[in-house]
A and B are shown apart, each in its own frame.
Chain A
Amino acid sequence: MLEFVKILSVLILLSAFVLMGNKRINSYIETFRVQSLFIALMAGINGIIMLRTEGRFDLLAICVLILVLKVIYIPGLLHRTYAHVKYEVEKDFILNIPILISVCSGLVVFTYFCLGTLSSIIPNSIILQLVNSVSVIWIGLFFMISRKKAIGQIIGFLVIENGLFVTTMLGTEGMPFIVDLGLFIDLITAILIMGILVFRINDLFDSIDTDQLNKLKG
């Protein structure tokens, strides 16, 4: 079973790279959906292990929540939001994709460099997975920086959240159930607000380029 977890952790990292390589906004959303699916699977596997060893089913409940929220509801919401604003294929990223991918590789190396010293506290097998999940956080943040459109920032934010979730699940065998629930509620609220804000930005500037926001500065 643990082998699956390892494979999934690599797949999640890989999906983050794929996300970075995407050019179109619709494919961002689809990649995010795939990544969330991996995370749901991972939570499910860990949940089954936990159910068998300790008899708790928190993680299984969370697995269902992820499936409902991150795989079905949020990507759908984002698709609908994006369908309402003006659709144009244009270059959305600041640097070109090969450079972005190589920076992401650098980030993984950096994370490994920073977390490698933790081996006295955490077993080595988990450290590698931890490196993967922390790298996902970094790539999510970098994705937010590299994309111009507001949808890009929302996706980046969600990817950071995904990375954080995997990290806590690996590092501490999952947070208390109530904390996870709180996080999900926060996430839904944040996404709803961001979705509305995207409309407002679009109304105001006729575009969802966040570059234009600096016109608001006093």
Chain B
Amino acid sequence: MLFYAAYLFKSSLILYILAALIALLMTKNQKTCNILVNSICILSALLGAAASVLKLTSGVDTLPLIQVHSVVPFISISMTIDNLSAYFILALSILVCCVSVYSLGYISSYIGQRNVALFYFLYTTFILSMILVLTSDNAIFFYISWEVMSLLSYFLVVFESEKSESQRAGKLYIIMTHLATAFLLVGFMIIYSYTKSFDFGLGSAAAIMPDSIKNIVFIMFLIGFGTKAGIIPLHIWLPSAHPAAPSNISALMSGIMIKTAIYGLIRFIPGCLGVEHSWWGITILALGIVSAVLGVAYALMEHNIKRLLAFSSVENIGIILIGLGVCFIALAQNNQLISSLALTAALLHTFNHALFKGGLFLGAGSIQYAAHTRDIEKLGGLIKKMPLTGFFVLCFSLAISAIVPFNGFISEWLAYQSLYAFMINGETGLNILFILAVAALGLAGALAAACFVKLFGFSFLGLSRSEQALRAEEVPLSMNIAMGILTFLCLLSGLFPLVALKLIDPVTVSLGGSSIFSTLRGGFLIVYYPLEAAGNTISPLIFVIFLVIFIALILLAARVVGGKYLERRYGTWDCGFEALNSRMQYSATGYAKPIKIVFRILFKPTRQVVMEGDSIYHPDAIQYKTSYTSIFVKYLYHPILLAVKDFAKITKYKIQTGSIHSYLLYIFIAVMAMMLYNRFL
């Protein structure tokens, strides 16, 4: 069985390479290229998913895939799949499969206007680079794959390169990601200086390195991976890069690429360094709390669908980090059960987020495909024009807001459970943090629900707010099929969570935790809280069954009590006006206003009202403009930028004077210093 898994992995890799080559060769025939590349990607994604499931259920820990050692020292291609990699590759493969189906329709609108072949070359190599990141077994190879992934995603972000928005987003993205990678490199180098090896041997570094060095490496990894994950305050690239990229790429970036950072945190911090200090977990937990609440608070302020979704990704990364933080604290205190439970919550939410956020970005792409705008204020009434898309987006919105029959609920529930379980036998100081985390999770959940009410309500319900929205039509079938598959998976893993939990179990066990699955009680349909801590169960399926029965009973009762009622269809009562129009509707700005007022310390909102006309009492037109500034940009990034600029100015005018004599003098002083150094050492 394991043999087949390795075989399937390799064939899926080869298929991706094949797809990239085909994309390069077929620059002339874009239509065939579109169909061919996507079919190959779907096939290889299915192979990859099958291989990952085989690997996860096989019970074997590591599966060496490709080992090529070169003559050049340290440079070797070594790929190994262990359970953690297999789990992330499963999520990647499922999403790639759906996104490829989606691209069949979505990219067809680009044909003839843009270089579709180039797009597909970047697309397939981007997927390939993510697989390399997830499977590499050696720090140098990991680092190279990581950089390749960053660069390819940069090219995809600036794919619509003539737009100044894309250029700015790309520039910001590449600066942030390179800074982050520099931190990673320093971390790897420090580990190398102690272990003299770039291999990821589990726990190898932990024994040798002194405590203080471990702390430094932890901070390096946290900044390096945290930037890619988009934790606040390192998130600023995310809300501009995601909207700039084509929607299928945003789905991949938000669904999987930022999760490679979570993979890195799990791979390197418990796996390589070993968690011994509680403060590591506490830091991650605190960052998670901040990211979860502020991410969704910023999301509420956005009227651009994809920016909103990008901020919501920040929120979900926050939730994942809350799970991860609890896991690390429990690891530091040698509490195996809780650490496994929290890790399960984090991993499950990673998987779920890949499904529903991928789906939501695809939905945003569909909206843009149909209505040619991403501004919520210009949409409206789309549900009548594109009912399937509307239904799927509604399902994803429910999933991301953690409403019961969908998968988002299960992972957040597990995160809550791990927090509660830790509180029962935790320390007092930590308990306060856990209570805060529970409150933050609750607040983030509520705000997320409000946020997606806004997204769905203002884009799909009501009357169309613009001509473009009025002319929108249902998108091609392939796009809806892709979203349908994702919806189905969201529902499936929400109703039968034990399937997902069974797949996560080998991961937590191989990372040195205890098995959660074996302590679960009950059948296939019910999630039980592990027996060893305290009894606590929940079953989404039973919830749904009761909900259906309840609604049916009410309807029945109404029918029985009320008798046969008459149904009369009529327009909404318009208070005697002649006709309702779209401008009388509630606007998204108005909807978000109360929250803007509550969180004004974060947003620093400004507004501008301009009256046009002769009299201010009877204006012809009123313009109302609102804007907000991010406090992180204003108080964190601006001062840093200014300092760098000032420093550059000083070097320009004081050091680089342009006079040959001063340059010669620098050489003179440097050589003199070297000779003196030689003299005294």
Contact = CB atoms under 8 A, between A and B. Distances in A.
Interface of A: 94, 110-111, 113-114, 117, 141-142, 144-145, 148, 153, 210-211, 213-217
Interface in B637-681: 656-661, 664-665, 667-668, 671-672, 675-676, 678-679
Nearest to B663: A145
B47 to A, nearest CB: 55
A117 B658 CA distance: 38
Nearest to B677: A114
A144 B664 CA distance: 7
B675 A145 contact: no
Nearest to B661: A145
Nearest to B678: A114
A213 B664 contact: no
Shortest beta-carbon contacts, A-B, top 7: A214-B658, A217-B658, A114-B675, A210-B660, A114-B679, A145-B664, A214-B659
Contacts of B678: 114
25 contacts: A110-B675, A111-B675, A113-B679, A114-B675, A114-B676, A114-B678, A141-B664, A141-B668, A141-B671, A142-B668, A144-B664, A145-B661, A145-B664, A145-B665, A148-B661, A210-B659, A210-B660, A210-B661, A211-B661, A214-B657, A214-B658, A214-B659, A215-B658, A216-B658, A217-B658
B423 to A, nearest CB: 62
Contacts, number: 38
Nearest to A117: B679
B679 A213 contact: no
A111 B667 CA distance: 16
Contacts of B676: 114
A169 B166 CA distance: 61
Contacts of B664: 141, 144-145
Contacts of A111: 675
Nearest to A214: B658
A94 B671 CA distance: 21
B668 A110 contact: no
Given A114-B675, A141-B671, A217-B658, 12 more contacts: A94-B661, A114-B676, A114-B678, A141-B664, A142-B668, A145-B661, A148-B661, A210-B659, A210-B660, A213-B660, A216-B658, A217-B656
Given A110-B672, A141-B668, A142-B668, A153 B660 contact: yes
Nearest to B667: A141
Contacts of B679: 113-114, 117
A84 to B, nearest CB: 21
Contacts of B672: 110
A127 to B, nearest CB: 14
A110 B674 CA distance: 13
Contacts of A214: 657-659
Question: Which of A117, A142, A144, A216 counts the most B-chain CB atoms under 10 A from its CB?
Answer: A144
Contacts of A114: 675-676, 678-679
Nearest to B659: A214
A145 B659 CA distance: 10
A127 B679 CA distance: 14
Interface centre among A94, A145, A211 (most CB of B within 10 A): A145
A148 B657 CA distance: 16
A213 B662 CA distance: 12
A213 B675 contact: no
A108 to B, nearest CB: 13
Contacts of A142: 668
Contacts of A217: 656-658
Contacts of B675: 110-111, 114
A215 B660 CA distance: 11
A111 B678 CA distance: 12
Contacts of A216: 658
A117 B665 CA distance: 26
A85 to B, nearest CB: 17
B658 A145 contact: no
A113 B672 CA distance: 12
B659 A213 contact: yes
Contacts of B667: 141
Nearest to B660: A210
A110 B659 CA distance: 26
Interface in B110-168: none
B654 to A, nearest CB: 12
A211 B664 CA distance: 12
A211 B658 CA distance: 9
Interface string B526-541: 0000000000000000
A5 B679 CA distance: 27
Residue with the highest number of chain A CB atoms closer than 10 Å, among B656, B664, B676? B664
A131 to B, nearest CB: 12
